[in-house]
Chain A
Amino acid sequence: DTGVSQDPRHKITKRGQNVTFRCDPISEHNRLYWYRQTLGQGPEFLTYFQNEAQLEKSRLLSDRFSAERPKGSFSTLEIQRTEQGDSAMYLCASSFSGTSGSRTDTQYFGPGTRLTVL
């Protein structure tokens, strides 16, 4: 069973450029989450999907951020017109939700994409 994968692992870009990150969840998981983690802080929730539906977006997710999960499998997170404040680790997680009697729908995380905006 392969875990959550993210690509790229590192991205360096110049301010004003657009970047796109990809996340491939654990294959049987129907929920997919994006978090952002800055230095010295815990991860902060950005958005999550159940299958292809985006169910919640954080107020942290400005208009420059967009996330998709077109076929309910992999997801992309795009940041347009990047700013230096976007520099962070972007973490993706997945879980399975829906089994009756399930004790926990634990979120399993990928290795993250570290973004540096110059």
Chain B
Amino acid sequence: AQKITQTQPGMFVQEKEAVTLDCTYDTSDPSYGLFWYKQPSSGEMIFLIYQGSYDQQNATEGRYSLNFQKARKSANLVISASQLGDSAMYFCAMSQTQGGSEKLVFGKGMKLTVNP
């Protein structure tokens, strides 16, 4: 069975600094996708970034990058130049295939607070 582990319950970062959010995963499938979502207090899950298990390069989307270490089964999210609006819950998730069309398995999430 697939499992996502996010062990950091909460983190604090100063505005404009970079921050790394940890995610480790467990699966026996060779093909899978890894996702990060942001959930502000309003409740909506906002897609941030995706990494396929066969992708050779780490994914980047604007200020977000994914540090994918396949051998260690980790998929950490790096947010550069934090902004006050980045304060939210962050969830790591994985799908059974690279496409992500099947169900997503989520971690428990972690709360990021950006201080001015």
A-to-B contact residues, CB < 8 Å: 31, 33, 35, 40-45, 48, 56, 58, 89, 91, 93, 95, 97, 102-112, 114
A contact residues around B42 at 8 Å (CB): 111
B: residues with CB less than 8 A from A are: 4, 33, 35, 37, 42-47, 50, 52, 91, 93, 98-109
**B108 and A97 contacting across the interface, CB-CB below 8 Å:** no
13 pairs, CB–CB < 8 Å, chain A vs chain B? A42-B4, A42-B91, A42-B109, A43-B104, A102-B99, A103-B50, A103-B52, A105-B101, A107-B47, A109-B37, A109-B45, A109-B47, A111-B44
B101–A95 contact, CB under 8 A? yes
Instruction: State whether B103 touches A56 (Cβ < 8 A).
Output: yes
Query: Contact partner of A42 among B44, B50, B106, CB < 8 A?
Result: B106
Find chain B residues with CB under 8 A from A89 CB. Answer: 43
CB atoms of A31 and B37 under 8 A apart = no
Name the contact of B102 in the complex, choosing from A35, A56, A103, A108 (C-beta under 8 A): A56
Contacts of A58 in B (CB 8 A): 103
Cβ B103 vs Cβ A104 within 8 A? no
